[in-house]
Each structure stands twice: as structure tokens, then as C-alpha cells.
Amino acid sequence: MTRIILTVCVSASLTLGLVSAQGAGKAAVDLSKLPPASGKTGITYATDIKPILEKSCTKCHDGEKPKAKLRLDSLEGVLKGGEDGKVILPGDSAGSMLVHNVAHAGAPDAYMPPPRNKHGIQALTKEQIGLIRAWIDQGAK
């Protein structure tokens, strides 16, 4: 019995250590910086989201060599994600990396678009971020 308890305790300690180590490399996301999701319903990528991403994101996240291997010029690309994994979690905008980055809620080096970018692209508005949030919360169709 003591051996089982010891094994469980060691296993739990290792798991907690791994979680702490993984979290140590990433800045905490300040969810209070996220604008609320839009109240609009029936949002689609093609009609509502693609125009926002084309204006603010696809200069870097499009074409043959998209930055971070993330293509935002198609629904398939957005859903696939990039070298850092999935950028949206359909049904969970508050947990989606894309929302964290465009809302400037996490690590400053992950802000999108970057504050001082060579294309002079402005940050997304609260309304645009709210629309993206609602789209994701509605299933990212």
C-alpha cells in the first residue's frame, strides 16, 4: 500500500513539474484584455472573418512561405494552425491563441499584428476582435 501511495505521489509531482515547466516559457494570458464576443449570429469565415484577416494578417500569413507556417487566407489554413499548433479552438474563443495574439493579451512578442511592423498595419479594433471571438464561439464555420 505504501508503495502505491509513493508511486502516485511521485507521478503527481512529475506531472506538476512538467506543467510548471511548460507554462514557464509562456506569458500568462490576461483574459481581462479580451473584448467581449460580438452579439452577431451566423458569422462565417468567408463573409465576416476573411476580410478582416486579409486587411490585417495575410501580408505575412499567406503564400508559399507564411510566417510561423500559419496561413490565414483560407478557412482550412486557420483551422490547421501553424508551427505553434492550432490557433483557434472552435467553441472557445477565450482559449484561442489567435484571439490572445490579436487582442494583445499574452506575451508582447506574440502580438499580432506586431506593433511596429514593416507594413504599417494597425491593431485590430475591439469590434473586429469581438467578431472573431463570436465566430470561434459559434464553431468557426
Q: What is the pLDDT of residues 32-82, one digit of tens each?
A: 999 999 999 999 999 999 999 999 999 999 999 999 999 999 999 999 999
Tell me whether residue 96 is in a domain. Answer: yes
Total domains present in the chain? 1
Tell me whether residue 47 is in a domain. Answer: yes
Does an H or E element contain 7, and which?
Answer: helix 2-24
Tell me whether residue 67 is in a domain. Answer: yes
Residue 137 Cα distances to 65, 66, 73, 78, 79, angstroms: 29, 26, 20, 15, 14
One-letter amino acid for residue 36 of the chain: P
Question: Pick from 37, 43, 30, 45: which is nearest to 100 by CA?
Answer: 30
Question: Where do we find the cell 458569422?
Answer: 43
pTM of the model: 0.80
CB 25 within 8 A of CB 93: no
Tell me whether residue 94 is in a domain. Answer: yes
Tell me whether residue 63 is in a domain. Answer: yes
What range does the domain containing 45 cover?
Answer: 28-137
